[in-house]
Amino acid sequence: MAMRALSFVAPSSPPPSPLLRSNPPRSLSLFSPKSSPPRLRRSSRHHGSSGGSRMSLAELEPSLVVKKKATEISSDLKGTSIFLVGMNCAMKTSVGKLLADALRYYYFDSSDSLVEQACGGESSAKLFRESDENGFRDSETEVLKQLSSMGRLLVCTGDGAVKSSTNLALLRYGILIWIDVPIELLANEAVNAGASSPSETTLDTSNSDSFLKVLDELSQRYIELKEGYGTADATVSLQKIATKQGYEDLDSVTTEDMVLETLKEIERLTRLKKMMEAAARPF
């Protein structure tokens, strides 16, 4: 199946040097739209709906502490792209959008969505996946090749991004962060949405036992993907943040909490990079 050229915003120039790995060769052409993606304007205290409540000014924009931390690490980051892995969910998406906004990076929803775009739409991609699974995965790898060769990108990857060693190697040309959200929250999200699964497969949420069924299927999915997630440069765990902040309810963890922890992990990685470079210099 012929693949269409991807259409997304590329930075005007790549970073002078990567943070953690050397850049792969730019063998693929990219086409940029006339305008960049819109900035995220709302930062919710919860990753679900606001329930119609009035929002304060602090909730309308990313928090000052997130912006301050992003500003502090931007120069050392040098435009290195960031890839978020983990089970697909609203929290991972919200973290990606807010993090991209704070760092002034270009945001992309997932490598799976870009594969769909390259195939000509969701329906075409579904047919392609069903008729030629290996071909679909090859297309996914092609997308990741393009993404990994660019700078200043924030990509929330799809589940398929960690399924092969080739894809994982491509992701490691940027900074790889695992957004770890408890399976119970993912199952609740799927059941409450009453729609498709947060993963690539569709879950049945129509019966009274739907939560347990969804929980079981997501748990199996998690086991399949955990090894790939574990290769990330850093892990941002919602459970650990809740414990650290003293929250009694996991739903109390905000997008800002997750983004701030992600920025701290990126800062730790940049400092480690500096130390390694300093140690390598001749006396």
Instruction: Write down the pLDDT at residue 50.
Output: 44
Angle at 106 between CA 84 and CA 54, to 5 degrees: 85
Whether pLDDT at 222 is above 50: yes
| pTM, rounded to two decimals | 0.73
Q: Could you give all domains of the chain from N- to C-terminal order, each with its CATH number?
A: 77-182+234-258 (3.40.50.300)
pLDDT: is 246 or 161 the higher one? 246
Whether pLDDT at 214 is above 70: yes
Interhelix angle 255-280/64-77, nearest 10 degrees? 20
Q: Is 177 helix (H, G, I), strand (E, B) or coil?
A: strand
Q: What is the pLDDT averaged over residues 200-214? A: 64
Which band of pLDDT confidence, cut at 50, 70 and 90, is reported for residue 142? confident
In this structure, of 73-87, 195-209, 222-236, the range with the lowest mean pLDDT score is 195-209
- Round to whole Å and give the CA distance between 231 and 206: 35
Are 138 and 13 in contact by the 8 Å Cβ rule? The answer is no
Residues 6+ apart with CB under 8 A from 245: 252, 253, 257
Structure tokens at 283: 């006396």
Are 257 and 94 in contact by the 8 Å Cβ rule? The answer is no
In this structure, of 13-22, 189-198, 272-281, the range with the lowest mean pLDDT score is 13-22
